[in-house]
Amino acid sequence: MDRESDEASVADHLLSSLERLVKRHRTLSLGGGETAELHSGLHAELISAEVTHELELTRRELHRRLHPAR
């Protein structure tokens, strides 16, 4: 694979992962009442952590593909 193809493959994987993450979290029901605010904050933290994880995996994969060990 060439560099552009590698970058496109990694980008496609990241976008697919983020789309799955969004779909999964949209299915969660927060309900109502006093606990909804707490759950909303925790839900936001969970999403943030998952996005951070996906970005780190993408950075590592790009680095691995673009700077192979010699």
Residue 32 gets the label, from left (phi > 0), alpha (psi -120 to 50) or beta, of: beta
Predicted local distance difference test score (pLDDT) of residue 33: 63
SS3 content of the chain, % helix, strand, coil (to 5): 80, 0, 20
Residue 17 belongs to what domain range?
3-66
Predicted local distance difference test score (pLDDT) of residue 55: 95
CA 43 and chain centroid, separation: 14
Q: What are the tens digits of pLDDT across the range 18-54?
A: 999 988 887 775 556 666 677 778 888 999 999 999 9
In the block, which residue shows the tokens 């998952």?
Answer: 50
Number of domains into which the chain is organized? 1
Predicted local distance difference test score (pLDDT) of residue 3: 77
